[in-house]
Amino acid sequence: LPRHYVLPDSRREGIVINLAEYRLYYFTNGGVQVYPVGVGTAENPSPLTDAEVTMPLESPAWYPPASIRAEYEASGEYLPRMIPPGPGNPLGTHALLLSEKGYLIHGTNKKFGVGMPVSHGCFRMY
């Protein structure tokens, strides 16, 4: 992670993610909270968008898209159509559904990847 914080020049309310910094800024009336995030890879970039959080999810199930399931199959691994909540779920214990279809801000079940470009476009927190 970069060692310097660069507050975005964009709006200063709600959630703002700086992809280059791998940081999520959460602006509140009382100030700003900053968290490291994992973002999409060059092949599967995170969207540059002005999305809204449409729904918080507690203990989310994960329904991997067909494209991700195909990647797993190509490497000889099987990925089920649904991964239930629990320690094996890569979404972690909480997620925020975004208005940008197919993308979430979510937890993870592994520390690896936070602060790095490793996801299929979602924003990963630990």
- Is residue 4 among the annotated active site residues? no
4, 94, 120, 122: the active-site residue: 122
Residue 13: per-residue pLDDT:
84
- With a CB cutoff of 8 Å and minimum separation 6, the contacts of 50 are none
- Is residue 122 among the annotated active site residues? yes
Residue 10: per-residue pLDDT:
64
Residue 30: per-residue pLDDT:
83
Residue 1: per-residue pLDDT:
55
* Matching CATH number, 40-124, of 3.40.50.150, 2.40.440.10, 3.30.1490.190, 3.30.9.10: 2.40.440.10
Q: Any bridge partners for residue 96, and if so which?
A: 56, 105
d(CA 7, CA 13): 12
Q: Any bridge partners for residue 104, and if so which?
A: 97
Residue 33: per-residue pLDDT:
93
4, 94, 106, 120: the active-site residue: 106
Show me where the domains of the chain are located: 40-124
Per-residue pLDDT of the chain (126 residues; tens, 9 = 90+): 556 666 666 667 899 999 999 999 999 988 899 999 999 999 999 999 999 999 999 999 999 999 999 999 999 999 999 999 999 999 999 999 999 999 999 999 998 999 999 999 999 999
Q: What is the DSSP pairing of strand 104-106 with strand 53-58?
A: unpaired
Residue 12: per-residue pLDDT:
75
